[in-house]
A and B are shown apart, each in its own frame.
Chain A
Amino acid sequence: MALIEARGLGKSYGSKRAVDDLSFTVKPGSVTGFLGPNGSGKSTTMRLMLSLDAGQGTTTFDGRTFGELRHPMRHVGALLEAKPFHPTRRARDHLRMLAAANDVSTQRVDEVIRLVGLESVARGRPRKFSLGMGQRLGIAAALLGDPHTLLLDEPSNGLDPQGITWLRQLLKHLAGEGRSVFVSSHLLQEMAVLADELVVIGRGKLLANGAVADFVTSSGLGTVEVVSPDMATLGPELESRGATLVAGPGDATTVSGLDAAAIGDAAHESGARLHQLTTRQASLEEAFLAATGLDEEFRGGDQS
């Protein structure tokens, strides 16, 4: 199973630096989400990883670059485009063509067609495929060589809710088999459920690379809801230790800046009674927005 190591990836379009000295690692046996705002360089990074774009840096898959792989689709499966096929070539023929270059059997072609649920249209021309059907064909192509590594750029684009659920289960299953799954998505709620690890970029630079839980925790956006009959005593004590207090919800006070253990210690030392202490983790979305807020390339206007 492959360890993906990207080192010093870089790419400029004229004077604009699209990807800037980007290094990260994708571990086998996990789904690694690739997050970044629009225009942050995610797709460019994926193309650089596969040597499709000219740029700086190297990406290795178990020590070998993509260009060094014999029958690359048997090592790395990639989905980079929404509809990467000729509109009049039959879906099955499209896969047969890719298979021919990678010593993959026709039997495997039919297997992946069944796997992505395109049996009924496999011998039809994909001219009128919906975006979701096109994505399924692209996913079939990525899975064609039964690769140990998957690079998928926005694979859930155009999929219906059932399709997104199917894709989530499929990717988790593949990661569970020990494969490396590197997947970009702008659906943060979906990524929160799917990903074990994250690579977060903004303006082409690395913002975070590690476990999802670590990324969320490090955002410092978690809060603790405190219910205490001695809040008049406990409140100033917490503020003196750097916490911020907001009244509510209900009888509780929301405390940020200190975790539950620190609040418990403060209550004990100040002699305040505690009736409730509830930790509320920040969401991935909140952590992501906090991390990329200043790096978003194309920001919408303020509604207020």
Chain B
Amino acid sequence: MMDALRYEWVRLRTIRSTYWIIGIALGFQLAMSFLIGALAGDDAGGTDSFAILVTIGASTGFAPLFIAYVIGLMGVFSMGHEYRHGMIRATLTAVPQRWAVLAAKVLLIVAVSAACALACVLIALLSATIFSIELPGWGEVLAISSGTTIFAVLFSLSGLAYATITRNQTAAVALLLLVPTILEGIIKSVILAIHAASDDPTGKGGGVWLIKYLPYDSGGQMYTRRSLEDLLEIFGVVPFGPVGGGLVMGTFVALLLAVGSYLFLRRDA
């Protein structure tokens, strides 16, 4: 296992995409959190303001968590490069234990994605300090920070799983971008449209409960505070809280990784 970790660590450090991905995530976070901080009113502060600063608006439901999408590319590339550039056979002749190769990729993607997301949180804290935005209590700071970090890590792992399952980097990037933004949006719209046209459009019956099991949408509850999504409650949508939402997303990512592992351990290299 240590051999696989050493291999993966050198692999990550010697590829340019690792640096531009981290650079874009941190650069975006720096620019946007400072812009938001600079433009914030004097009375800005508390949970919602801090959540907006950390997630650059994603906590309101108006925007996706941009840093997760950028960091997620690292997850895709972790396995995608193996197939796109014919590296997989070289990798498996250096480390024949496939489970170790995959486990090393998962562990390092978790570590690097978490470090990058935490750095983005620190940038938000810096912005709050510089622009005198009052922080919520430390419990809430911790909850929003960890929620954002865990979401980014799970998002990145889902990218790794997509690449492992498809063995196609382009397809994996497309899945990572389209499943949370387009596919889940379409499913949600269809369910709500059917529910709205039903005899009981504000009830909790029908298939409306399915919405809270949409994995990325549900995972977003880990960093979402007051959100546009709250409006859906009039249609009977009752989302999970941060823990429940995180568990739904975590289960989904675990299933993706399980499928990816099953295929990776059995397929031809």
**Which 9 interchain pairs have the tightest Cβ spacing?**
A101-B7, A93-B14, A52-B269, A100-B6, A97-B10, A53-B268, A84-B90, A101-B94, A101-B3
Q: A52-B269, A73-B94 are in contact. Are A84 and B89 (CB under 8 A)?
A: yes
Report the count of interface residues on A (CB-CB < 8 A). 34
Looking at B6, B10, B90, B93, the one whose CB has the most chain A CB atoms below 10 A away is B93
Q: Render B7-26 as a binary contact track against A, CB cut-off 8 A, 1 for contact.
A: 10111001110000000000
- Chain A residue at minimum C-beta to C-beta distance from B15: A89
Give the interface SS of chain A, mostly helix, strand, loop or mixed: loop
A80 touches B93 (CB 8 A): yes
Of B43-51, B80-88, B158-166, B199-207, the one with at least 4 CB within 8 A of chain A: B80-88
Looking at A73, A85, A98, A103, the one whose CB has the most chain B CB atoms below 10 A away is A98
B14 touches A96 (CB 8 A): yes
Report the count of interface residues on B (CB-CB < 8 A). 26
Interface residues of A in 37-88 (CB under 8 A from B): 47, 50-54, 66-67, 69, 71-73, 76, 78, 80-81, 83-88
Given A86-B81, A100-B7, 11 more pairs with CB closer than 8 A:
A47-B89, A52-B92, A53-B268, A66-B96, A67-B97, A73-B94, A94-B14, A97-B10, A97-B14, A101-B3, A101-B94
How far does the Cβ of B199 sit from chain A's closest Cβ, in whole Å?
Answer: 53
Q: Render A93-110 as a binary contact track against B, CB cut-off 8 A, 1 for contact.
A: 110111011110000000
| Contact among A54, A69, A90, A102 with B14 in the assembled complex (CB-CB below 8 Å) | A90
| Contact among B4, B86, B269 with A83 in the assembled complex (CB-CB below 8 Å) | B86
Interface residues of B (CB under 8 A from A): 3-4, 6-7, 9-11, 14-16, 81, 85-87, 89-90, 92-97, 266-269
- Docked Cα-Cα span, A78 to B86, in Å, equals 14
How far does the Cβ of A82 sit from chain B's closest Cβ, in whole Å?
Answer: 8
A72 touches B86 (CB 8 A): no
- Chain B residue at minimum C-beta to C-beta distance from A68: B96
Contacts of B93 in A (CB 8 A): 50, 52, 66, 72-73, 76, 78, 80
- Docked Cα-Cα span, A94 to B81, in Å, equals 13
Q: Is A141 an interface residue (CB 8 A)?
A: yes
Interface residues of A (CB under 8 A from B): 47, 50-54, 66-67, 69, 71-73, 76, 78, 80-81, 83-90, 93-94, 96-98, 100-103, 141
Looking at B94, B268, B269, the one whose CB has the most chain A CB atoms below 10 A away is B94
B85 touches A86 (CB 8 A): yes
- Chain B residue at minimum C-beta to C-beta distance from A52: B269
Looking at A76, A78, A87, A90, the one whose CB has the most chain B CB atoms below 10 A away is A78
Contacts of B90 in A (CB 8 A): 80-81, 84-85, 98, 141
Contacts of B268 in A (CB 8 A): 47, 52-54
| Contact among B7, B16, B92 with A97 in the assembled complex (CB-CB below 8 Å) | B7
Contacts of B3 in A (CB 8 A): 71, 100-103
| Contact among A54, A78, A96 with B10 in the assembled complex (CB-CB below 8 Å) | A96
How far does the Cβ of A149 sit from chain B's closest Cβ, in whole Å?
Answer: 12
B96 touches A69 (CB 8 A): yes
Looking at A52, A86, A87, A98, the one whose CB has the most chain B CB atoms below 10 A away is A86
Can you spell out 19 A-B residue pairs with CB atoms less than 8 angstroms apart? A47-B268, A51-B96, A52-B89, A54-B268, A76-B93, A80-B90, A84-B89, A85-B85, A86-B87, A87-B85, A89-B14, A89-B15, A93-B14, A97-B10, A98-B7, A98-B90, A101-B7, A101-B95, A102-B94
- Docked Cα-Cα span, A87 to B15, in Å, equals 10
